[in-house]
Amino acid sequence: MPEVEPALGAGPLLLIAAAAVGVLLFLIMKLKLHAFLALILVSLLTALATRIPLEDVVTTLTEGFGGTLANVALLVGLGAMLGRLLEHSGGAQVLADSLIGRFGEKRAPLALGVAALLFGFPIFFDAGLVVFLPIVFTVARRLGGSLLTYGLPTAGAFAVMHAFVPPHPGPVAAAELVGADIGLTLVFGLLIGLPTWYLGGYLFGLWAGRRYDVTVPPAEDDDVPTPDAPEGTVAGTAPGTAGESGGRRTQTATRPAPPGFGTVVALLLLPLMLIFLNTGLTTLATAGAVEESSFVVRAGQLLGATPVALLITVLVAIVVLGRRRGESGAQVESIVNSALGPVCAIILITGAGGMFGGVLRASGIGTALADVLGDIGLPVIVAAFVVSVLLRVAQGSATVALTTTAGLIAPVVEASSGLSAIDLALIVIAIAAGATVLSHVNDSGFWLVSRFFQMDEKTTLKTWTVMETLLGTIGFVLALVLSLFL
């Protein structure tokens, strides 16, 4: 919905914006109201407080919600399906085992981290970490040393992919709200995310492993259930494999053999290649190197559109990981269906964040905020990072921090002149970086790592929290530097 003439001045509008964020944090943190409901309520109250005409309030809310979900729901749903198919088929175990064999035992932490980066493209942080835990425990027990040496590079890889790279809901929602191209966001998410993980996840994990001796849990603790895992299976267990105790099970006749390493890697690279095709053709067409109206260019752009690329990949995965491995149509349908339940809350929260952003745009708050930032000379990318950090520290959820910050910054982006498509993608990365730092006791990821690694709160703060802060800070610095030269 287009922005209407503000009924209030810049000062009152900014006070309302600050009050809206404060009320949102109070509802989520103190009253423990679900973020979906809290965002809807705050969006409604903000619309009324900023005097949006009553007849336009509901339209403003629904258009903001629906516009965000148009892309987010497709990408998150398809990404979850792909991750579930890879997980169920045993692709995670195959990936980790093969990379450890190729890298060697001395570089096992690097191999586990690379496997987590690849597997983390379609699967969310918590699900991916739980799937990989038995693998991490088995490798740590076999090779010795602190669990952190193997666990932090793995957890850091999932954290980076979850925050920086589409089709994860945070970067997808932020890109949608600020108008960034998903393909460019993916490109820069990888370009920035990979060195960020190496410096802040892998190298820090090695240092933390030498400094803090965290004992690997007993073997019986490896049987960590994965959400929606088929009855009788173990998270991270490759169906139909045999090996050491603690991470895998003896092959049975009821489960087909896991896919090959090449198959898993090819499926993970397929959507990336298709999306890069779209981005590359669009860049060449903009530069005049190819004819934009030609059939080949338009067809390549269609196949490389992120929703289409993910759809193609999921359909290929259904055949390769399901039907060709002996799964019936009903079994494959059940596996794919089980992926959607856990992501529904995330999809709805990102949609509600889009609703909040729509209200901010329609009310004129964004224009007022842009004027203030222009007066103090704070670049948009820096403001995006700072706001995201404050929201992340205050309420814990990276998804809420991403969507709320993007909603606040989107009108500022619209009011700013001279921002290129690359600038918009880097602003998304800056928001994601801010939503990564300082994971502490109000973040579910903090307790997930603390519980499964069997660390007390003090040790978790010294290791996991420090690593998350490094990842966010390094990611932002790289995005800022690139924004100065590109």
H helix runs in 288-379, sequence order? 295-304, 306-317, 329-338, 344-363, 365-376
Q: pLDDT tens digits for 238-297?
A: 333 333 333 444 444 466 788 888 888 888 888 878 877 877 787 777 767 777 788 888
Q: What is the CA radius of gyration of the chain?
A: 23
Rounded to an integer, what distance in angstroms lies between the CA atom of residue 269 and that of residue 163? 19
Rounded to an integer, what distance in angstroms lies between the CA atom of residue 71 and that of residue 99? 34
Instruction: Look at residue 1 and tell me if it is in a domain.
Output: no
Residue 57's Cα: distance from chain center in Å?
A: 31
Judge if pTM exceeds 0.75.
Answer: no
Q: Which residue has the tokens 């007390």?
A: 456
Query: How buried is residue 377: exposed, middle or buried, by Cβ count under 10 Å (0-12/13-18/19+)?
Result: exposed
Q: Which residue has the tokens 């059939």?
A: 295
Please state, as a whole number, how many other Cβ atoms lie within 10 Å of the Cβ of residue 456.
8
Q: Contacts for 98-107 with beta carbons within 8 Å, 24 or more apart? A: 98/261, 100/139, 105/143
Instruction: Look at residue 23 and tell me if it is in a domain.
Output: yes
Instruction: Look at residue 426 and tell me if it is in a domain.
Output: yes
H helix runs in 318-465, sequence order? 329-338, 344-363, 365-376, 380-395, 398-415, 421-434, 444-452, 457-460
HEC profile of 144-155? CCCHHHHHHHHH
Rounded to an integer, what distance in angstroms lies between the CA atom of residue 337 and that of residue 318? 12
Rounded to an integer, what distance in angstroms lies between the CA atom of residue 21 and that of residue 44? 13
Per-residue confidence band for 5, with pLDDT thresholds at 50, 70 and 90: low
Domain range enclosing 88: 10-485
pLDDT value, residue 223 = 47
Q: pLDDT tens digits for 158-181?
A: 999 988 988 787 888 888 888 888
pLDDT value, residue 8 = 67
> Given a cut of 60, is residue 378 above it in pLDDT?
yes
> Given a cut of 90, is residue 410 above it in pLDDT?
no
- Residue in 198, 206, 168 with CA at minimum distance from that of residue 186: 168
Half-sphere exposure of residue 162: CA atoms within 13 angstroms, side-chain side = 26
Number of domains the chain is built from: 1
Rounded to an integer, what distance in angstroms lies between the CA atom of residue 169 and that of residue 255? 32
Instruction: Look at residue 443 and tell me if it is in a domain.
Output: yes
Rounded to an integer, what distance in angstroms lies between the CA atom of residue 470 and that of residue 94? 30
Instruction: Look at residue 2 and tell me if it is in a domain.
Output: no
Query: How buried is residue 398: exposed, middle or buried, by Cβ count under 10 Å (0-12/13-18/19+)?
Result: buried
Please state, as a whole number, how many other Cβ atoms lie within 10 Å of the Cβ of residue 337.
12
DSSP structural state of residue 106 = G
Rounded to an integer, what distance in angstroms lies between the CA atom of residue 298 and that of residue 442? 46
Rounded to an integer, what distance in angstroms lies between the CA atom of residue 377 and that of residue 387? 16
- Residue in 363, 358, 351, 374 with CA at minimum distance from that of residue 407: 358
Q: Contacts for 41-45 with beta carbons within 8 Å, 24 or more apart? A: 42/356, 43/352, 43/355, 43/356, 43/358, 43/359, 45/20
pLDDT value, residue 118 = 85
**Cα Dmax for the chain:** 71
Are 384 and 409 spatial neighbours (Cβ–Cβ below 8 Å)? yes
> Does residue 237 or residue 382 have the better pLDDT?
382
Rounded to an integer, what distance in angstroms lies between the CA atom of residue 396 and that of residue 335? 31
- Least confidently predicted of 124-133, 227-236, 467-476: 227-236
> Given a cut of 60, is residue 156 above it in pLDDT?
yes
pLDDT value, residue 193 = 94
Rounded to an integer, what distance in angstroms lies between the CA atom of residue 244 and that of residue 137? 11
> Given a cut of 60, is residue 349 above it in pLDDT?
yes
Average of per-residue pLDDT values in the chain = 80
Q: pLDDT tens digits for 62-79?
A: 988 887 787 678 877 887
Per-residue confidence band for 373, with pLDDT thresholds at 50, 70 and 90: low
DSSP-based helix, strand, coil % in the chain, nearest 5? 75, 0, 25
pLDDT value, residue 270 = 86
Rounded to an integer, what distance in angstroms lies between the CA atom of residue 128 and that of residue 119? 7
CA angle 82, 424, 409 (to 5 degrees): 100
- Residue in 277, 241, 273 with CA at minimum distance from that of residue 121: 273
Are 270 and 316 spatial neighbours (Cβ–Cβ below 8 Å)? yes
Instruction: Look at residue 5 and tell me if it is in a domain.
Output: no
Q: pLDDT tens digits for 414-450?
A: 877 778 889 999 999 999 999 999 887 667 778 778 8
Rounded to an integer, what distance in angstroms lies between the CA atom of residue 416 and that of residue 148? 44
Are 134 and 235 spatial neighbours (Cβ–Cβ below 8 Å)? yes
